């Protein structure tokens, strides 16, 4: 954000108090409680606000909307022909795939495909929480809350606007997940609540009182250390390059990837292959380190010793001493 000249705007959207975090057991007992110290070492912002700031900084018509990519054909000399759902096409000399987990650009450079990791997150939302959902609001607090047990958890985060965004975490196979009827929201919420029988009532309110959802998010990841050989005219960034299990780094890495790639292109204005090579050389070890840590965190998250394993991670007592 500093490189883009947007740091002041970024500071204006930081959610004060949002970096607080605590870990509870299924009965609502606090295992770890870490306050937001106000130093903005890991600032929390809404992605919608971040997206707005970035978009507003661009010149008009920089982005073409409603251009769903349907296919890519490799041509000679590092060129690629992109075809879109609206029937149009374009030939590129420089192609950067920033198109997420199931990237259509990634197959140009790599045969790797994201695999389901055995854990899913199901989203629910509560609004006007201090007035309408006081008990749930109190147990979540001002930042992030992780109520965990072996194989399952209820984790939530207070967002600006008096909103609580909840992720119900389940270590289940895809077949087991298929037994939950997400086509019938109220039924699905009941089925989810039944999985947390005998949990604290204030925690269960994050499921039972949901005003939106539930929305299933199956977690997929590429292999740790994912790399590729240099392919002329194309590279990838963000989740297209290194989708990993959630560990609070996905958006950070994607933005840093973009910044590093832009810097490399500035330094090599007449040699895109040199720019791409420079970018990928630092991308690979950076993303491998982050993916390895995310993989370790997943192992602690809903482990057989949960919530204690994850509490130790959050307290920085484990995980190779990293912060």
pLDDT higher than 80, residue 265: yes
Q: Burial level of 48, CB count in 10 A (0-12/13-18/19+)?
A: exposed
**97 membership: H or E segment, kind and range:** strand 95-97
Are the CB atoms for 237 and 95 separated by under 8 Å?
no
Pairing, β 80-84 against β 69-74: antiparallel
**pLDDT at position 41:** 65
**pLDDT at position 306:** 94
**pLDDT at position 313:** 86
pLDDT higher than 70, residue 141: yes
**pLDDT at position 322:** 35
Which pLDDT band, with edges at 50, 70 and 90, does 40 fall under?
low
Q: What is the pLDDT of residues 77-97, one digit of tens each?
A: 999 999 999 999 999 999 999
Q: Burial level of 41, CB count in 10 A (0-12/13-18/19+)?
A: exposed
Distance of CA 236 to the CA centre of its chain: 17
């Amino acid at each position: 954000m500093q490189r883009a000249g947007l740091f002041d705007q970024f500071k204006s959207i930081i959610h004060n108090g949002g970096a607080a975090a605590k870990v509870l057991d299924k009965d609502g007992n606090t295992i770890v409680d870490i306050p937001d110290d106000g130093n903005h070492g890991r600032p929390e912002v809404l992605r919608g606000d971040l997206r707005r700031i970035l978009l507003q900084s661009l010149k008009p018509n920089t982005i073409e909307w409603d251009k769903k990519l349907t296919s890519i054909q490799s041509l000679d000399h590092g060129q690629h022909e992109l075809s879109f759902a609206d029937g149009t096409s374009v030939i590129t000399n420089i192609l950067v795939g920033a198109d997420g987990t199931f990237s259509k650009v990634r197959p140009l450079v790599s045969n790797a495909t994201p695999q389901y990791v055995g854990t899913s997150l199901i989203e629910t939302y509560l609004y006007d929480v201090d007035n309408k959902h006081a008990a749930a609001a109190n147990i979540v607090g001002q930042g992030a809350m992780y109520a965990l047990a072996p194989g399952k958890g209820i984790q939530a985060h207070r967002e600006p606007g008096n909103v609580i965004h909840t992720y119900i975490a389940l270590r289940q196979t895809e077949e087991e997940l298929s037994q939950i009827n997400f086509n019938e929201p109220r039924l699905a919420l009941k089925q989810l609540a039944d999985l947390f029988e005998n949990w604290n009532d204030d925690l269960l309110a994050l499921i039972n009182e949901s005003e939106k959802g539930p929305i299933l998010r199956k977690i997929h990841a590429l292999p740790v250390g994912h790399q590729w050989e240099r392919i002329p005219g194309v590279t990838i960034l963000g989740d297209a390059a290194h989708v990993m299990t959630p560990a609070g780094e996905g958006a950070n890495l994607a933005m840093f990837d973009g910044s590093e790639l832009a810097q490399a292109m500035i330094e090599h204005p007449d040699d895109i292959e040199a720019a791409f090579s420079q970018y990928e050389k630092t991308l690979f070890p950076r993303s491998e380190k982050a993916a390895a840590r995310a993989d370790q965190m997943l192992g602690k998250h809903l482990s057989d010793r949960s919530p204690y394993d994850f509490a130790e991670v959050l307290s920085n007592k484990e995980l190779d001493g990293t912060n």
